[in-house]
Structure formats: C-alpha cells, structure tokens
Structure 1
C-alpha cells in the first residue's frame, strides 16, 4: 500500500471519520473521498502527504476548521472541500499553495474576510467561495489572479462597491457576485471582459443606470441584474448582445419603453422584467424568434394588446 499513488473512494456510502492513517501513503498523488457520509474533523495529518496533487473531500459532513497543515501540500493543483460544514476563517497560509488551479470552498459555514494573500495564487483558474458567511470587501488583490476563468462569490455578506479590478481578469468566462450587500453603481470596467458568458449581479444594493458599455460584452449568454435599485431605461445598445439566452432585470426601478430591439435577440429564451415601471405596450416583435420559453413582465404599467407573436 505504501506505493499507492491514486486512491479514489468517491460516490459510496462510507461513513465515520477520516483516518489519520492516510498520512502513511507518502507517494499518494490523488486522494478522492468525495460524495460519501464522512463526518468529523479534517485530520491535521493530511498535511503530511507532500506529493498530493488532488485532494477532494467534498459532499460529506465534515465539521471543523480548515487545518493550517494544508499549507504543507505545496504540490496541490486541485482542492475540493465544497458541501461540508466547515467553519472558521479561510487560512492565510493557503497563499503557499501556489500551484493551485482549482479551489472550491463553497457551501460551508466559513466566515471572516477573503484573505488578501489569495493574490499569490496566480495559477488559479477556478475559485468557488459561494454560499458561506464571508464578509468584507472584494479584495483589490484579486486583480493579480489574471488566469481566473470561473469566479463565484455569491451568497455571502460581502459589501462595499464592486472594485475596478475586473479589466485585468480578461480570461473570465463566469462571474457570480449575487446575493451579497454590494452597493454603488455598476462599473464600466466590465466592458473589457470580452470572453464573459455569464454575469450575475442580482440581489445586491446596486443603483444608477445600466451602463451602455455592456453592449461590448457580445459573448454574454446570461445576464442577471435583478433585485437591485437600478433606474433609467434599458440601453438600446443591448441590441448588440445577440448571444443572450437569458436576461433578467426584475425588481428594479427601470422605466421607459421596452424597445423593439428585444425582439431582435434571436437566441433569447428567458426574459424576466417583472416589478419595474415600464409603461405602454409589449414590443410586437417579442417571441418572433420562436424559442422564447419564459416571459414575465408582470407588475409594470403595461397596456395595449398582447402581441400575436407570443401565440406562436
């Protein structure tokens, strides 16, 4: 067993605690115990597995703080701890895991601020911190994580304005900042994220108008700005977002006409505008793409006929 390099026990019904005896497998490079019923503490001894490249303990019932001994796993590329009951703060010592490409700490009970020392994890491509109790501002030091492709910070207690760091994260495909306490205006800097497919800023306290610069995000597939305090009109420049399949602007203070260009978004499947102040009629072109499957424009000030195109 001492020669074992890969041990995967994922997707079973194993229960009990994680044995510190795993630390004797000194040549182990992959340890995957995910999707079981393991509980108890994260053993300090796991930090002795110096050759580990992948450690996945996600989807269990582990309930402890994250041991500082994890900082000894300097060869780690993949660390998955999602869907447990881990608590305490994210250790600053994670900054020593400079080879990490994938880090998932989501769906736990972690609190405190996001460590500034994350800026040293410059190889990170995927960072999942959603569904915790993290507070404080989004660190400006994130601007150094230029390899990030997926960034999920939703469902925390983050506050402050959205920092102007995102123009440097030009590889981002997915950015989720929803369900926090972010305020201020939506920065124009998002317009530089030309690879962005998914942007979710919903359920915050953002105000001001929707930036015209969003029209430069021509690869956007889903955009959700719902449940904020946005006002003004929908920019006509949204007509350039021809890859959009889902657009949600509900629960804001938007007004002005729902302009005809909405009907020109030929890939649009979901359109949610409820609880705003849109007057007059629904655009006649809406639904002519033949694939619109969800339309909610309730709780506005609309009048006039329902377009025949919706019947198709």
Structure 2
C-alpha cells in the first residue's frame, strides 16, 4: 500500500482487519499527527522508519499482533497518546520511554513485557493515564517514582507479578482517581498515605498477600465508589470510619 497524501494529518484505519505488516509507504506521510491502526490484524516488528513520523501527537496500534522490540519512536517530542496494548511485545520495558516527555496517556497493557518497570518513567511528568496491566513484570517492585507523577489520574498495573510493598509515595498523587493493583504479589500493609488521595474513586487491591489492618483514614475518601481488598491477609477490624 502506497500513500501519496503527503499533507495528510490524520489517518484512521482501525477495525478494518488489515493484515500483514505496516506498509513502508506509510513513512512518507511526515505531516501525520494522528495515526490509528487499532483492532486490525497487523503483525511483525515496528520499523525504525517510524522515526520519520516525528509530528505524531497520537499513535494507536492496539489490538494487533506486533512483536519484537520498540525502536525508532524515542524522539517523538510531541506525542501525547501512545497505545500499544494487546499485542505480542516480549521485550523489556525500555528506559527510553522517559524521553516521550509530552505523553499524557500511555497504554502498554496486555502484552508480554518482562523485567521491571523503569523508574525513569517518572520523567514523563505530564502523564495522566498509565496502563501496564496483564504483562509479565517478573521479580519487580512498583517503583516509588511512579507516584511522583503529580497529574496521574489512572494507574492500572493489575495482573502482573509485581511484588514488594505499595510505596507510601502514592499519597503524593492527589489527582489519582483509579488505582488498580489487584492480582499481583504485593506485600506489606496498605499505606495510610492513600488517605491523601481524596479524589480516588476506585481502589482495587484484591488477590495480593497484603497484611495488617485497613487504614482508618480510607474513610476520608469521600469520592470512593469501589473498594476491593478481598483475598488478602488482612487482620484486625473494619474501621468505623468506612461506614
């Protein structure tokens, strides 16, 4: 497929069930700002020639069959939304993610990423939505630096193999509305600093070996609509502040 529309700013071919790999002619569309190939049947690796699309603001390649390594995208200084969810990426999460400093939304969920979550992700200071669920973060703790993202609204890192404690720095995220950490191997206590996340609407911590008692100051979360701490190793009594 060749593209001759060199002034094209937006291209949406999602849900068309296109097969094979991305066309090399695509890289001639250097004016593109928004590109959506989600929910097709594309496969192969992401070409280094993606680098030429350096005016992109939004890239959605979710729900395809891409794999291999992530290369060629680290100089996209204008990119605000990146969705690579539900593909077959098996590499480590690269520290170069931190160079995408304009990102507001990042979805890498439902892949086979392994290793640890790079602490340098905290350099994406404008990040509001971060989804890393359903990957294979083996022997990895949740880096405390993630919770220095002051604009973070949603953090979904469920159904991985995250271990260690939930960092107390979570209380720094006073804009946080959704925190999904269920189905991991997180241990230690539920941090009382969660009581500072006063905009929290959904808190899901089930299926972890968390211990200790439920912090009483969770009762201060007047916006909370969903709380699930089932299937943990919690002890003590339910705080009256929850009623």
Give the Cα–Cα distance (whole angstroms) in 1 for the partners of residues 120 and 191 of structure 2: 25
Pairing 1:166–2:140 present: no
Do structure 1's residue 216 and structure 2's residue 172 form an aligned pair? no
Q: May I ask how many residue pairs the two structures share in their alignment?
A: 242
Q: What is the CA-CA distance between 1:90 and the residue it aligns to?
A: 1.7
Q: State whether structure 2 residue 114 is matched by structure 1 residue 114.
A: no
What TM-score results when the alignment is normalised by the length of structure 1? 0.76
Deviating beyond 6 angstroms after TM superposition, the runs of 4 or more aligned structure 1 residues are none
Q: Secondary structure at the match of 1:131?
A: coil
1:247 aligned counterpart, secondary structure? strand
Native 8 Å contact 1:217 1:241 kept in 2: yes
| Alpha-carbon shift at residue 200 of structure 1 (Å) | 0.6
Alignment root-mean-square deviation, CA:
1.0
Gaps of 5+ in 2: none
Structural mapping, 1:225-264, within 5 Å: 225-263=205-243
Q: Secondary structure at the match of 2:90?
A: strand
Structure 2 distance, partners of 1:212, 1:41, is: 48
2:10 to 26, 30, 34: 30
Measured in 1, the distance between the counterparts of 2:76 and 2:171 equals 31
Unaligned runs of 5+ residues in structure 1 are 1-18, 264-312
Q: Which residue of 2 aligns with 1:131?
A: 110
- Residue-by-residue CA offset, 1:77-135 (whole Å, 9 max, x unaligned): 010100111111222x2101111001000011111111111111100000000000001
- Larger strand share, 1 or 2: 1
Q: Given that residues 228 and 252 in structure 1 are in contact (C-alpha distance below 8 angstroms), is that contact kept between their aligned partners in structure 2?
A: yes
The structural deviation recorded for 1:166 is 2.5
Structure having greater relative contact order (Cα 8 Å, sep ≥ 6)? 2
Computing the radius of gyration from Cα coordinates, the structure with the larger value is 1
What's the TM-score, normalizing by structure 2? 0.97
**1:60 corresponds to 2:40:** yes
